[in-house]
Amino acid sequence: MALLPGLADSPALWRGGALAVPAAPGIPTGFPALDAVLPGGGWPVGVLTELIAEREGIGELTLLLPALAKLSGEGRWIAFVAPPRLPYAPALAAAGVELSHLVVVQPEGADARLWAIRQVLASHAFGMVLAWLDEAGGAPLRRLQLAAEGGSGAAALFRPPAAARQSSPAALRLRLGLTCGRLAIEVLKRRGPRVCEPVILDLPRAVRSHAVVRDLPPQPAAAGLPARHA
Amino acid sequence: MVERRRCVGANPAAQRLGVHAGLGEAAAAAMAETLVTRVRDPALEEAALRELACWAGRYSPVVSLDAPACVLIEVGAGLRLFGGAQALAAAIRAGCRELGFAARLAGAPTPLAARWLARAGTDAIIMEAAGLEQALDPLPLDVLECPPQVLEMLLSIGMLTLGECRRLPRRGLARRGAGGVIEDIDRALGALPDPRPGFVAPSTYAARLELGVHEAQAEALAFALARLLAGFSAWLEARQAGVERFRVRLMHEGREATLLTVTLGSASRDCARCTRLAREHLARIGLAAPVCALALEAGEIVPLAARSRELFAQEREPCEDIPEILERLRARLGEDAVWTPQCVADHRPERAWRRALPGRAPVAVAGCAPARPLWLLMHPERLAGRDDRPDAPLRLLRGPERIESGWWENGDAGIRRDYFIAAGGAGELLWVYRDLEAPGAWVLHGIFA
């Protein structure tokens, strides 16, 4: 059925295929293929974004580096709250992140961690907040989402793989995995229609992990990296 | 409040039970069983008046003390800045409440008229000298605060208000010893000059607050401290200055006082910010005993320009300053929990970075060409492996990068390692090394996150 003339442009009409238009444009991720599926064309600002990485070391942090480099270069501040490991200064500097605008906050204990994330989000002073949160119920997450609201910065919350099955008030939820050595981003939730296909990105990594060295026979179930999520 | 065994004042609760000024102490105690009496202390009253005068400095540079119990503020020049007389009066009233004072406020073109209007409890604000006579005429004679015998004489001839007094023959009054009254009225009406000595705020600030109830609860102490900080912040504003740190002494009965030093990330005189920070500190320290008094001491004060007001209302969500949020995080989480990573020129990976204070200028270090992982393990993990390679599922993808350095230093600072980039079973990239000092020892040192 053809649309009535003029109706197509009416702002009152919402079409199923359209992405929500957020109040502020997002922060470009540096990957056009990813920008295309994100409402606002980048990391959304003023809302919570959940990143659920299958495991550590697949490029979950590299994915954010272009945005971090751009923001810190513009003089905006970046916070790492409760990172699971030491953010390594030489690597960050090599990626173009302005270290003088980077703050690492290391709270001890679950309560202090939630408090710190909330304070940092609610201050609205940071261009981007990266926070790591293992266990969290719906209520603390909603409080974090409320704290992030109204700010002009992006908020990336790293969650363990198990969190993908739980519901969450975050406006954008991405699951990160590896496919043939490339990062596959599955959009679990966004303000817009479902994305069926994962977005495959070629991250600028140190070396391609599927460049297999064939001198070793594969051995099943050997202890490699201890199971720990980012 | 008791002076020479006579009540000189009572709070509303006591007044409801019938206690009033002039009553004997014993009679008052008989009327209200639970009456708590305090002996009047002129020194404390004087200190309170000074504190109020300090605070009033934020509204005008011309402030004078008019004992007893009155502070005069010359506000004529600043009316426009503060949005008119009514808005200013509301601000001053709210400020007094915040400081913990019950204030009566009145305004008039002359200081004496303002004092009389305030004493009469009229709350009037007279802007023009022309309306002054009309406003002063109905006031009772006791606002004059003249000697008792003069007041008695005036009452005996049937005078009840200032207006009636003003209309009496002046020479007759002067002959009966009431010349002072006439002069006062002339001063109040502006017919005689009435210069007042200006109040000079002390150059260092110290304030003390006695707590009626001994308190060990951090929240209640923070509330009391907020009252001290309100006065402090106004004093700083009047001096156009800020502080970088201040000290709070928590007095205990019969033991050493607890000292609390609050350090601000940047010079400030923002009362809310100081209070927030002090609250975090109070919550963190454990109090050994209930606190009976609080004393506030300013550290070194630094000049701080006055805040400029926005021409257009700011549309953006108010956002905090970076130093402010960082100092709050530090206050709660500890000094070491908030830092900025910094590069250090060293080949040894674990020494190629360090924690630095946020907000300091970075040290320029030439970037390193070989790939480095974004995550470094605080405690490197031993991996199982043979001489030439780690056990599966790890696969070495690139390497070795020999790092051999630090042998000139003592202890185990020297390293001799071959670093490789390895892939784990699921394709994750890891940074592993082979320790050349211990053959066959493979160690996980970083993760290419």
CATH number of the domain within which A116 lies: 3.40.50.300
DSSP string, B141-194: GGGG---HHHHHHHHHTT--BHHHHHTS-HHHHHHTT-HHHHHHHHHHHTSS--
Q: State pTM to two decimals.
A: 0.60
pLDDT of residue B381 exceeding 80: yes
pLDDT of residue A106 exceeding 60: yes
Q: In the prediction, which pLDDT does A217 show?
A: 38
Report yes or no: A109 at the B interface, CB cutoff 8 Å.
no
Contact B317 A124 (CB under 8 A): yes
Residues of A in contact with B365 (CB under 8 A): 93
Distance between CA B155 and CA B139 in Å, rounded?
14
pLDDT of residue A66 exceeding 90: yes
Q: Can you tell me the mean pLDDT for B351-372? A: 75
Domains contained in chain A, number: 1
Q: Can you tell me the mean pLDDT for A148-161? A: 89
Average pLDDT, chain B: 81
Q: In the prediction, which pLDDT does A79 show?
A: 94
Contact A181 B375 (CB under 8 A): no
Contact of A51 with A187, CB cutoff 8 Å: no
Q: Can you tell me the mean pLDDT for A140-168? A: 89
Q: Is residue A170 part of a domain?
A: yes
**Confidence band for A230, pLDDT divided at 50, 70 and 90:** very low
Distance between CA B363 and CA B344 in Å, rounded?
8
Report yes or no: A107 at the B interface, CB cutoff 8 Å.
yes
Distance (Å) from the alpha carbon of A129 to chain B's nearest alpha carbon? 13
Residues of A in contact with B354 (CB under 8 A): 89
Q: In the prediction, which pLDDT does A17 show?
A: 64
**Which carries the bigger pLDDT value, residue B36 or residue B433?**
B433
Instruction: Pick from A110-119, B209-218, B316-325 the range whose average pLDDT is largest.
Output: A110-119
Please tell me which of the candidates B341, B352, B372 has its beta carbon nearest to residue A102. B341
Chain B residues 330-349 with a CB less than 8 Å from chain A? 332-333, 337-344, 349
Q: In the prediction, which pLDDT does A227 show?
A: 43
Distance (Å) from the alpha carbon of A18 to chain B's nearest alpha carbon? 28
Contact of B63 with B56, CB cutoff 8 Å: yes
Residues of B in contact with A213 (CB under 8 A): 395-397
Q: In the prediction, which pLDDT does B446 show?
A: 92
**Which carries the bigger pLDDT value, residue B367 or residue B335?**
B335
Q: Is residue A12 part of a domain?
A: no
Q: Is residue A60 part of a domain?
A: yes
Mutate to test the interface with B, among A68, A88, A106 (most CBs of B within 10 A): A88
Contact B392 A206 (CB under 8 A): no
Q: What percent of chain B has pLDDT over 90?
A: 4
Q: Is residue A163 part of a domain?
A: yes
**Which carries the bigger pLDDT value, residue B337 or residue A20?**
B337
Q: In the prediction, which pLDDT does B297 show?
A: 84
End-to-end CA, chain B: 70
Residues of B in contact with A102 (CB under 8 A): 340-341
Residues of A in contact with B421 (CB under 8 A): 206-207
The region of weakest confidence among A53-62, B249-258, B364-373 is B364-373
Query: Tokens representing B147?
Result: 């000697």
Distance between CA B433 and CA B420 in Å, rounded?
6
Domain that holds residue A55: 40-215
Residues of B in contact with A230 (CB under 8 A): 449
Q: In the prediction, which pLDDT does A226 show?
A: 46
Q: Can you tell me the mean pLDDT for A23-49? A: 88
Q: In the prediction, which pLDDT does B221 show?
A: 84
DSSP state of A27: B
**Confidence band for B102, pLDDT divided at 50, 70 and 90:** confident
Report yes or no: B277 at the A interface, CB cutoff 8 Å.
no
Calculate ∠ Cα B390-B392-B395, nearest 5°. Answer: 70
Q: Is residue A21 part of a domain?
A: no
Chain B residues 162-221 with a CB less than 8 Å from chain A? none
Q: In the prediction, which pLDDT does A150 show?
A: 78
Q: In the prediction, which pLDDT does A216 show?
A: 40
Distances (CA, A) of A87 to A91, B88, B350: 8, 52, 12
Element (H, E) at B330: helix B322-333
Residues of B in contact with A208 (CB under 8 A): 397
Please tell me which of the candidates B337, B381, B423 has its beta carbon nearest to residue A226. B381
Q: In the prediction, which pLDDT does A212 show?
A: 47
For residue range B232-288, list pLDDT tens digits in order.
888 888 778 888 788 888 888 888 888 888 877 677 788 888 888 888 888 877 777
pLDDT of residue A220 exceeding 60: no
Determine the angle formed by the axes of helices B322-333 and B271-284, rounding to 10 degrees: 20
Contact A216 B395 (CB under 8 A): yes
pLDDT of residue A219 exceeding 50: no
Instruction: Pick from B133-137, B261-265, B303-307, B443-447 the range whose average pLDDT is largest.
Output: B443-447
**Confidence band for A13, pLDDT divided at 50, 70 and 90:** low
CA A156 to chain centre: 5
Residues of A in contact with B426 (CB under 8 A): 54-55, 58, 178
Contact B395 A178 (CB under 8 A): no
pLDDT of residue B366 exceeding 70: no
**Confidence band for A9, pLDDT divided at 50, 70 and 90:** low
Report yes or no: B379 at the A interface, CB cutoff 8 Å.
no
**Which carries the bigger pLDDT value, residue A146 or residue A8?**
A146
Distances (CA, A) of B190 to B134, B138, B195, B296: 14, 18, 11, 41
Contact A123 B377 (CB under 8 A): no
Contact A124 B398 (CB under 8 A): no
Q: Is residue A161 part of a domain?
A: yes
Chain A residues 2-41 with a CB less than 8 Å from chain B? none
Residues of A in contact with B338 (CB under 8 A): 103-106
**Which carries the bigger pLDDT value, residue A163 or residue B266?**
A163
Q: Is residue A204 part of a domain?
A: yes
The region of weakest confidence among A130-139, A181-190, A203-212 is A203-212
Please tell me which of the candidates A62, A210, A211 has its beta carbon nearest to residue B374. A62
Interface A:B, Cβ pairs < 8 A: 209
pLDDT of residue B37 exceeding 80: no
Distance (Å) from the alpha carbon of A105 to chain B's nearest alpha carbon? 5
For residue range B175-190, list pLDDT tens digits in order.
887 778 888 888 888 8
**Confidence band for A2, pLDDT divided at 50, 70 and 90:** low
For residue range B388-447, list pLDDT tens digits in order.
788 878 888 887 889 888 888 877 778 888 899 998 888 888 999 988 888 778 899 999
Whether the ipTM is more than 0.85: the answer is no
pLDDT of residue A148 exceeding 70: yes
Distances (CA, A) of B193 to A191, B60, B117, B282: 73, 21, 19, 51
Q: In the prediction, which pLDDT does A80 show?
A: 95
Contact B395 A150 (CB under 8 A): no
Q: Is residue A131 part of a domain?
A: yes
Report yes or no: B283 at the A interface, CB cutoff 8 Å.
no
